[in-house]
Amino acid sequence: MTERRRERAWSGELRWTVPHTAAAAWTAGGLLMAVLDPWLWDTLWVVTMALWLLYAILGGAVMLACLWAGAWRGFTRSRVTAAIAMIIGALLVSQTSGEIRRAAHGWRFQARFRRMAPRYERIVKELATEPKVPERGSSGGVNFDVDAGPPRRIAFPQPGGIIDNWEGVIYDPSGGLERAIPPRDRVPGGFSLPDDLVGIFGGTLLSCTAVRDRFYRCWFT
């Protein structure tokens, strides 16, 4: 049996190869998935996590293929640079995808809020004149929850919640939810909710951000 000839380390012409293309496509795909993350969650829901896992496995397979080719045939210029490109791509995706996803979800939320705000405001006005309102209801295809308070707060659940973890647009006429907005310089675990905000809407309020006109974006578990 003829032994496969190994090429000398860092030998050969530096050229663009299939592994380079795979590394570039994998990196671009990860950044694109980060941008599209809110739309993926709206469409695929928890399957999105499986999609990210598949993406990570694919990246590992490409990296192993680069290393295997180098170990079997020799670490030529092209094979080494392909492996380096894969490492740089993995660092780029891992370091930026979180911020990109958060920004994309923010854009998605703002676009949805601008579209839904007239309906939310109409429901708020309708319920303001009612002496008693149900804990849950629907009007014009928009679901809402009510925390009787006082003050009477109205929650409009947003898509994408998992089990008892959910996000909602909350209308708070008192503006008391301002106190649930964590300070920017807070120490992890060092921020606690005021007593009167514990247990609203039957869950644990994690944090809020102000949207506009007594509307807040809040997260519950």
Q: What is the pLDDT of residues 136-146, one digit of tens each?
A: 999 989 999 99
**Residue 208 DSSP class:** E
Query: Distance between CA 153 and CA 151 in Å, rounded?
Result: 6
Render 29-70 in DSSP notation, one character per residue: HHHHHHHTHHHHHHHHTTHHHHHHHHHHHHHHHHHHHHHHHH
Helix residue ranges per DSSP H, 46-137: 47-73, 77-128
pLDDT for 66: 87
DSSP string, 148-164: -SSS-EEEEEPTT-BTT
Kindly report the pTM of this predicted structure: 0.77
Higher per-residue pLDDT: 142 or 131: 142
How far apart, in whole angstroms, are the C-alpha atoms of residue 36 and residue 45? 13
Backbone angles phi, psi at 3, to 5 degrees: -75, 135
